[in-house]
Chain A
Amino acid sequence: MTETLLRWPRELWESLLERLFFLPPFPESIDSLALFSLLLVAGLLLGEWLHRHWGWPKVVGYVLAGILCGPSLLGWISIEALVQARPIADAALGLLMLEVGRRLDLGWWWRSRELLRSTGYDIGLSFLLIFLFSWLLIGLSPAWSAATAAVTMASAPAVVLLTIEEAKGQGQVSERILLHTAVGSAASFFAFTVVLGIVHAEHSNDWLNAAVHPLWVGVGAGLIAIAGAQLALGIAGRLVKGSLAQVFVLVASAMLAVGCARMLAVPVFLTLFLMGVMLAARDRRQSLRYTSLPEGHWLLAIVLFVIVGASLPWQEFGWLSLLQALALLAVRATAKILALLSAGGSLSRHKRLLVGVGIQPLSATAVFMVYELASLYPEVGGPALALPLFAAAIMELLGPVLCRWALRQAGESLEEGKGNIG
């Protein structure tokens, strides 16, 4: 379709090229900056429209714009363009993961028995039930079942963070959704690292890779995170607290960590999440504690979700995989809600249920984890991981709506127009 559209301009250009010697050759691929702005505008328009007319979270619109423009439907975003846009997606995901890591309040989690209990139940039940479902009902091998569980057990940090920010969510449900998401993500990343070794062990006799790859990922991400956090804190400590210069230091350190992770083939989401945790834990002088990411991180987030939407292979999903994915999501939802309800604690049962609903999203990190795992052994990994990928694709659209609904039910979102007098 794109070829047909471009035929006439190309012919015109080439005829001009014979006379106008200063003209460059006809541009065969779109410039990265132009691509960035197109993705941004497409996501923005749909996100704002859905938000204004139907009250949907904007994230849903961004993902839909990606699906619409991506290779699965209109094909305006080609597979090559997606590869080209990957650094932007990494940067966006990195910044969001950094923020989620920074918001993980380890002190609160550690001193609250009810939170230890509820996050423990959530992690344990989610992994166990998804693993058993994938292994016994779907028939995946134990290694790929574990991979499926590792990828889908946690909530989606980027979606949860953006949905809470968008709704200006404040209160125990919002705080606990964020905490559950951050702790669940940490557990999911740990499981993902271990699963890397298991997958190697199952598909090759190369025990060296099976042992060293998880170490490379885990230790590598940890070291980059420590170095990035120390660098940011070291420089920020010499600047005025909350100043614009500090914001730049934070963003620059994060981008440096993203770059290093990419160079060393270490997952960006894991590295930046750990860096965020380190920044919060080691900031004893409150150097960066009050420094927020610039509003511009929404810009990157829009592009991230458009790319995620576009990268979902909808054409590969069939009716059977739809049913399997829905069943997996039902198992996952049951595990999370059961975990919250059975954990007890000072929060009312109704609000614990809402936390359980609020942590349902499954999104970018899961998709990226799937691609990391599938790339190890593409011929077996691709089909085996179609299940979590399809589940993530469904939850890309449903997850933000559920999270937003939970915040509304809890009375914690600052609704536009609500509270108007008269």
Chain B
Amino acid sequence: MSGFGEFARSQPLSLGVELELQLVSLRNFDLTRGATDLLASLVDDGRCGDIKLEITESMIEISTLPRDSIRDIASDLGGLIDVLQRHCRNNNIGLAGGGTHPFHHWPERRICPGERFDGIYHRYGYLAKQFTVFGQHVHIGCASPNDAIWLTQALGVHVPLFIAFSASSPFVDGVDSFFQSARLNAVSAFPLSGQCPPLEDWRDFIEHISFLQRCGIVSSIKDLYWDVRPKPEFGTVEIRVCDTPLDIVQACALTALAQSLARYLLRTRPALNTALQAHVARYNKFQACRYGFDAMISDPLAGCQRPLKLIAAEMLNTLAEDAAALECLPWLKHLERQVEQGGDAQWLRACREKSGNLNDVVRLATERLYSTRSIAEEGL
């Protein structure tokens, strides 16, 4: 096993969510240093999950407990945001969603204390500070390691969908990037980011990781920043391409999409052509990041392009049965509206248009994160 351990047992289609959130100064809404202070003063019983440090002091990560239903995930996220918000108020710090901070100056970021973060900083240099971007990771429980590898490959095809639904990072360095999700450009600078290579099964995966280990490229699975990757110690597959949404309702909706899609894929087991998909994966990902639902997605099997808007609408329709079985249908209806009306990236641009500055955009984002907490907890 080359030190990667066994694939842990988990309930099939169970869920876990990690959200990386922005810590901002309430004076000017720029990112601020506050993560270690917050954690040092935190009193939490852990009944909703965990609150952890991330690479820089301006980030904080919340992660739910493993849950079977989206309702429980909503409740956990609401509880965690509540605890965090209380401590943030105590320390006069604001909390916001969004994939990037619109105007922070990355050289001013400070790396969090700890051996792991120190190692990343020494290994990747300034990229580590530029990695002050904020994502949502969704874990989906798998019955077996082979299922996990298959699901990893199958979900890889649908990466553009997750990018478009979660896109909330149009601004970088104080300017409009013209991207819907500019966050992933920061991630793609890392040498081990991108798509999971075509792998047949668990054995193939272990061989691949062992090979990378022998070549001195990786020491643990944490070194791989694949868009979708198996997480053996949790017994899950982790979707890592989503920007952190601006509110919990959207975070839950994305989780519901992931759960419904996973159920559909595992139930119908569509044929995969991973070798062909590998040729278009990067292009499709760029299209989704740049244009959101206006992207044109290449279909390597049909040899043509299709609008992502159409793919998204069809997919939501296809998933209706599985979503209903998982009580995810209201959340998917919430996503359906965004295909036409636009999501978080549009909302951020509208705020910029209205207020004329990015400080107010972050201020409104901090207000939005908290105001929707109860809606998520009560269900749509």
Contacts and interface: CB of A to CB of B under 8 A. Distances in A.
A139 interface: no
Nearest to A242: B357
A170 B110 contact: yes
Contacts of A168: 108
B37 A172 contact: yes
B110 to A, nearest CB: 7
A298 interface: no
B89 interface: yes
Contacts of B121: 419, 421
Contact of B359 (A108, A172, A289): A289
Contacts of A103: 27
Nearest to B126: A421
B28 interface: yes
B91 interface: yes
Interface in A48-67: none
A290 B40 contact: no
B356 interface: yes
A112 interface: yes
A412 interface: yes
Interface string B5-19: 000000000000000
A235 interface: no
A281 to B, nearest CB: 13
B359 A286 contact: yes
A111 B37 contact: no
A414 B110 contact: yes
B185 interface: no
B359 to A, nearest CB: 4
B108 A414 contact: yes
Interface string A338-369: 00000000111001000000000000000000
Contacts of B108: 168, 414
Interface residues of A, number: 26
Contacts of A112: 90, 92
Interface in A137-173: 168, 170-172
Contact of A175 (B92, B110, B122, B125): B92
A242 B34 CA distance: 25
B33 A171 contact: yes
The 10 closest A-B pairs by CB, nearest first: A170-B33, A346-B41, A290-B359, A108-B92, A172-B37, A241-B357, A171-B33, A421-B125, A290-B28, A242-B357
Interface of B: 26-29, 32-34, 36-37, 40-41, 57, 87, 89-92, 108, 110-111, 113, 121-122, 125, 355-357, 359-360, 363
Given A412-B33, A421-B122, 13 more contacts: A241-B355, A241-B357, A241-B359, A286-B363, A289-B27, A289-B28, A290-B29, A346-B41, A347-B41, A348-B41, A414-B108, A419-B111, A421-B121
Interface of A: 103, 105, 108, 111-112, 168, 170-172, 175, 240-242, 286, 289-290, 292, 346-348, 351, 411-412, 414, 419, 421
16 contacts: A108-B26, A171-B32, A171-B37, A171-B57, A175-B91, A241-B360, A242-B359, A289-B28, A290-B28, A290-B29, A290-B357, A292-B28, A346-B41, A346-B90, A348-B40, A414-B110
